[in-house]
Amino acid sequence: MEDVSRPDPRQQAALSAALSGAVDLSSLKARAESTTRQPNGAPTSTNQWVIEVTDATFQSDVVDRSLTVPVIVDLWATWCGPCKQLSPVLERLAQDASGSWVLAKIDVDANPRITQLFDVQSIPTVVAVAGGQPVDAFTGALPEPQVRQWVGSLIDALRERMPGIRAAEEAAEQAAGRAQGIGEPDEPAEEPADPRFVAAEDAIERGDYAAAEAAYERILDAELGNEQAREALAQVRFAARAETADPAAIERADAAPDDVHAQLEAADAEVAMDRVERAFARLIDTVRRTSGEDRNRVREHLVELFALFPADDQRVMAARRNLASALF
């Protein structure tokens, strides 16, 4: 394996080709499931956003985690001089990012399956993974300003598509504000009610779900990353469907497993009946059986159902893992 300090244009082209879909991260899944799973990679020093990843933990620490925030994979080795220049830079940037992305460090000598998966020709190689798939990469020990610019461009491009990025950024801002004494109990900072949300909530109280849905959609048209509006939209859409949910839809769906519309109706009915885990399992099974637009439709419906519950709901967390397994 070649020890390099500057990017090779031919290698960059090869990486770009791999990112077009040739890399299948699910190839490590069987190995990960058949091996006694280690706990999530421990952070290096005190940096909780830097984790050591192995062949056995790749599925959970990289693929699953990348469904929430980007995971930047640092492929390195102890004998690699340029790696010793680049890795500390990535670790500092991960610490500064406060969870808007995670750095996964992988020793290529100790984890040959991952090395083979990414077709690593030289190190250091850095690959960004989002939504379970590689999305960008570079090779060589780039100067810190270039690395910082690469990471910044990546996060900017993914922020609206990955709510976990904005959530982490907002949490970091709030923590910084508390550290500076902003918003202390003796100086409450009251914000006026957003009239757009007030209008939507008034519509819900009237039972006019269509008007409420339209109000939340207008907010999202103006602010794609508004998670409050996105969650409220999922709630009001389900409330509208729940009013007409037919328990008989479950029997119809069971009799026609390939009828995607029937499966969606049945899942809604099951959630309305508080059979949440069964609803999630039904749609995950449907994801496994479908492809293309049908698969995407089912996935979006399932993610919308996830939004009805707290993010730390054990049923949602388990279903997210199963969905990642079905997709990747």
Hey, which residues are catalytic here? 80, 83
Kindly give the residue spans of alpha helices, DSSP state H, lying in 46-158: 58, 81-97, 112-117, 144-158
State the amino acid at position 66 in one-letter form.
S
DSSP 120: -
**Nearby residues of 38 by Cβ (< 8 Å), 6 or more positions away:** 54, 56, 57
What is the spatial distance between Cα 183 and Cα 186, in angstroms, rounded to a whole number? 8
DSSP 108: T
Confirm if 32 and 57 have CB atoms less than 8 A apart: yes
What is the spatial distance between Cα 298 and Cα 149, in angstroms, rounded to a whole number? 36
> Helix 292-306 crosses helix 260-272 at what angle (to 10 degrees)?
10
What is the spatial distance between Cα 123 and Cα 120, in angstroms, rounded to a whole number? 7
E strand or H helix at 71 = strand 71-76
Which residues on neighbouring strands pair with residue 52, listed in sequence order?
A: 105
The number of angstroms, rounded, from the C-alpha of 51 to the middle of its chain's C-alpha atoms is: 17
State the amino acid at position 325 in one-letter form.
S
Q: β-strand 122-123 against 125-130: which pairing, if any?
A: unpaired
Confirm if 155 and 165 have CB atoms less than 8 A apart: yes
What is the spatial distance between Cα 157 and Cα 201, in angstroms, rounded to a whole number? 32
